[in-house]
Amino acid sequence: MVAPLRSDSPPVSAPDNPCIALFHPRVYNQPSVEFWLRVTSGMIGQQKRELRALVATWIELARDANQAREIEIVHQPVYLPGLPKAFDGYLVAQLSDIHYDVHHGSFADEDHIEAAVRAINRIRPDLVVLTGDYVTASVAHIQPLAEMLAEIEARDGVFAVLGNHDFWSGADRVARALRRQGIAMLRNAHTQLRRDGEGVALLGVDDSTVLAHDLAAARRGVPEGMTTILLSHNPTLIGRAVRSGIDLMLSGHTHGGQIRLSPRSSRRRRSLWQGWRRFGPTQLYINRGLGTVVLPVRFQCPPEITIIELKCGSPRDRRWRFLKKREMGRRRTSLR
Ligand SMILES: [Fe+2]
């Protein structure tokens, strides 16, 4: 309501909507400065209310669309030419980028992490690998996180590498807390997984974002010709992995982009964003992560647990067989 402006003028009653009030015939004839100020302030107030309502609606819609708590379990077969027969069908569960720290209330809470741990245990993997970024900016909550991760069950154990956020927050404290809970840290080191007298080398490097990686040190002592799986938080290490003859590299770091407005564009750019790729003889899998950074939001990019199934065989042969089958199908169609 716009109040009367001058004591000598007749009382003016304008509609509630300031846009109408501005051109209301009864007030239009009294264009004093005070009048315009009142009308303008009324308009701003109205706009603020409308803006607030709009923002509230958008927040509600964003909450409904937010996939930050919808964990997707991705099954990814990986064919490795030199894989020992004893490892055919070997299941490796990968968890990455949990980001549990001062922001954990809204970013990654206990329920979310415990749900992931339960999901992994239900699958009963042979091995579990953690590919870094347990925290975002503080190690204050690493102890409860390490205790939650200690609940993971895997026949050959749980192995972990560190991410850039762990280094920025306190790499040694993160590593110590995980180690105390029985999680083996691979810091520019390797171990051998054994099955029926055969072995696969599992290597892990410190994060390359902070230039703490040393792949040569991690590789030192790995028997020639042995199948190698490398854990590297940052997937940009793929070039070195290829040159070093790594068979499979498992990474995180990207969060898959976290918010993907166009799935088509992200498919085009996915080479180092998420999922499986092949670079010559080396295969790479990038896990989208469990937590979030910057915003506690995921859109068209849910959190992920990857179940890598190792298979004997060559991916090239497999693709060739697929192309040949498709070609045969085409030929058959053209003959009709
Ligand atoms: Fe991360």
* 86 burial type by CB count under 10 A (0-12 exposed, 13-18 middle, 19+ buried): middle
Ligand 1 centre from 163 Cα, in Å?
7
Ligand 1 centre from 291 Cα, in Å?
8
- Nearest 5 degrees, angle CA 290-CA 109-CA 251? 20
- Closest by Cα among 147, 152, 104 to 129: 152
pLDDT digits (tens, 9 = 90+) for 148-184: 999 999 999 999 999 999 999 999 999 999 999 999 9
Ligand 1 centre from 131 Cα, in Å?
9
pLDDT of residue 255 exceeding 80, the answer is yes
Ligand 1 centre from 255 Cα, in Å?
6
> CB within 5 A of ion ligand 1: which residues?
97, 133
Ligand 1 centre from 98 Cα, in Å?
7
Ligand 1 centre from 174 Cα, in Å?
14
Average pLDDT over residues 72-82: 94
Q: For residue 305, what are the β-bridge partners? A: 73
- Closest by Cα among 307, 277, 275 to 288: 275
pLDDT digits (tens, 9 = 90+) for 202-246: 999 999 999 999 999 999 999 999 999 999 999 999 999 999 999
Question: Domain 70-315 adopts which CATH fold?
Answer: Purple Acid Phosphatase; chain A, domain 2 (3.60.21)
Ligand 1 centre from 135 Cα, in Å?
8
Question: Residues with Cβ < 8 Å from 140, sequence gap 6 or more?
Answer: 101, 102
- Give the side-chain half-sphere CA count within 13 A for 35: 20
